[in-house]
Amino acid sequence: MIDLTKQSGFNLPGRHRAEKRFQWAGRSAIAISLLFLAIMVGTIFRDASGVFRQTQIAVQVDLSADPASVSYGRMVKAGLRGMFPDVTSRRDKKRLYNLVSSEGSFEVARMVTENPDLMGGTQTLWLTASDDLDLYVRGKVDTTLPERQRRISDAEIAWVGELQATGQLRRVINWGFLTGGDSREPELAGILSALVGSAYSLAVCFALSFPIGIGAAIYLEEFAPANRLSDLIEVNINNLAAVPSIVFGLLGLSIFLGYMGLPRSSPLVGGMVLALMTLPTIIIAARAALRAVPPSFKEAALALGASPVQAVFHHVFPVAMPGMLTGAIIGMAQALGETAPLLMIGMVAFIVDIPESILEPATALPVQIFLWADSPERAFTEKTAAAIIVLLIFLITMNLIAILLRRKLETRF
């Protein structure tokens, strides 16, 4: 009689131990990667938290003067002096003016254009506070340090206390970050110009690389004769996929800008360079997707008298489509995160305006992140983190669309 519950013989205990060991190794690998992911996302959100709201100061601005003779900047300064009449020294006045963002005059100008009724009297306007004041209000300034080592002086701290006591300071949701362009002042810098630049570039990139890549893949996989030239092309495509992206940037600089004279810093050229970079990825993925289609479909079509082109486009292509889309999205995700080639073609410029076409100068999300991370103002650290969140959301949205499309197109066989 054999006892199947007994674990001796066949080296069973050893095999079970090996199985357990492997399972635990796998689980801990997943746990470690999840931990790192959590740390990364956590840090980004912690750093970015300051961007979601911003501080505003209520300033009594006398708008009775003609803006042609008195600038809005002077009106704002006069308003600030009026709120703190005992400030007299030149140095203190300068500090006082620094409470409001140095581009506060533009804000006033915008408010007046939007609502001309404001002109002609004294108005209480909520103006964006400077980044240093914002940091202080949020408790990010170490007040135990000696005054000379802080960005905000004791006098300013006293004024802020006064403003808080009289309710002339408030914190509001910072929509400007999502609706504005870049700025030298961190409190006013927004992400929209970079977001639009990235969207335009990716649209150009997709419009070029998807049809070209899929076309090349179909020809190479289904029609190209098996000879040395085909082999050579295949080897080269595989190599191109591994070429550093900055090389494509150089190519774009010399050919698209230098030789063809296309507009510098434009999403058109950015998208073209990214398309060059993405093409090998798309071709390789599309060929793999085509190869995964059971050859029986093509055979059945050919045996019915379909021409090779009909057999491929009626039966192989639709089945391979979801796989090709996946490859394209991987390529697009890569392109979205690419900085180096865009630097080469000038998409690193300081762009305040939201680009309105693919021919206007623009920047891209990763380049904007790089620029902000490079800025000395402390408040830009938070902007950097917030920009990373926007980039991640962009990426996740793109992937979601791809998954939905794939679900819709998928055929089971």
Partner 1 sequence: MADPIVTARGVDIFYDTTQAIINVDLDILPNKVTALIGPSGCGKSTFLRAINRMNDLIPICRMTGEMKIAGQDIYDPKVDVVALRAQVGMVFQKPNPFPKSIFENVAYGLKIHKMTTSKTELQDRVEWSLKNAGLWDEVADRLDQPGNSLSGGQQQRLCIARAIAVKPRVILMDEPCSALDPIATAVVEELIDNLRKDYTIVIVTHSMQQAARISQRTAFFHLGTLVEFGDTKTIFTTPVDERTQNYITGRIG
Contact positions vs partner 1 (CB under 8 A) = 226, 294, 296-297, 299-307, 310, 314-315, 318-319, 411-413
* Closer residue to partner 1, CB minimum distance, 300 or 400: 300
Smallest distance from the beta carbon of 235 to partner 1, in angstroms?
Answer: 20
Tell me the CA distances in angstroms from 207 to 27, 202, 203, 265, 327, one per residue in order.
41, 8, 6, 19, 15
* Closer residue to partner 1, CB minimum distance, 4 or 303: 303
**Cβ neighbours, 10 Å, residue 140:** 13
Smallest distance from the beta carbon of 211 to partner 1, in angstroms?
Answer: 24
DSSP-assigned states of every residue in 249-296:
HHHHIIIIIIIS-PPTT-HHHHHHHHHHHHHHHHHHHHHHHHHTS-HH
* Closer residue to partner 1, CB minimum distance, 148 or 407: 407
* Closer residue to partner 1, CB minimum distance, 301 or 335: 301
In contact, 353 and 181? CB cutoff 8 Å: yes
DSSP-assigned states of every residue in 93-145:
HHHHHTTB-TTHHHHHHHHHHH-GGGTTSEEEEEEEBPHHHHHHHTT-S-TTS
Rounded to whole angstroms, the Cα distance separating 364 from 201 reads 8
* Closer residue to partner 1, CB minimum distance, 68 or 303: 303
Rounded to whole angstroms, the Cα distance separating 315 from 240 reads 30
* Closer residue to partner 1, CB minimum distance, 110 or 314: 314
- Which residue matches tokens 């996989």? 221
In contact, 332 and 278? CB cutoff 8 Å: yes
What residues are paired with 62 via a beta bridge?
122
Containing H/E element for 52? none
Rounded to whole angstroms, the Cα distance separating 395 from 388 reads 10
Task: Indicate left, alpha or beta for 83 from its phi (over 0: left) and psi (-120 to 50: alpha).
Answer: alpha
Smallest distance from the beta carbon of 402 to partner 1, in angstroms?
Answer: 21
* Closer residue to partner 1, CB minimum distance, 94 or 314: 314
Smallest distance from the beta carbon of 313 to partner 1, in angstroms?
Answer: 11
Smallest distance from the beta carbon of 293 to partner 1, in angstroms?
Answer: 9
* Closer residue to partner 1, CB minimum distance, 261 or 305: 305
Smallest distance from the beta carbon of 314 to partner 1, in angstroms?
Answer: 7
Helix, strand, or coil (residue 171)? strand
In contact, 188 and 176? CB cutoff 8 Å: yes
Smallest distance from the beta carbon of 389 to partner 1, in angstroms?
Answer: 41
* Closer residue to partner 1, CB minimum distance, 147 or 231: 231
Smallest distance from the beta carbon of 319 to partner 1, in angstroms?
Answer: 6
Tell me the CA distances in angstroms from 315 to 33, 293, 320, 321, 409, one per residue in order.
41, 9, 9, 11, 13
Rounded to whole angstroms, the Cα distance separating 236 from 234 reads 5
* Closer residue to partner 1, CB minimum distance, 1 or 304: 304
Smallest distance from the beta carbon of 320 to partner 1, in angstroms?
Answer: 11
Smallest distance from the beta carbon of 138 to partner 1, in angstroms?
Answer: 58
288: exposed, middle or buried (C-beta count within 10 Å: 0-12, 13-18, 19+)? middle
Rounded to whole angstroms, the Cα distance separating 88 from 377 reads 28
Smallest distance from the beta carbon of 210 to partner 1, in angstroms?
Answer: 23
Sign of the CA dihedral with 260 first, then 263, 269, and 271 last: negative
* Closer residue to partner 1, CB minimum distance, 145 or 226: 226
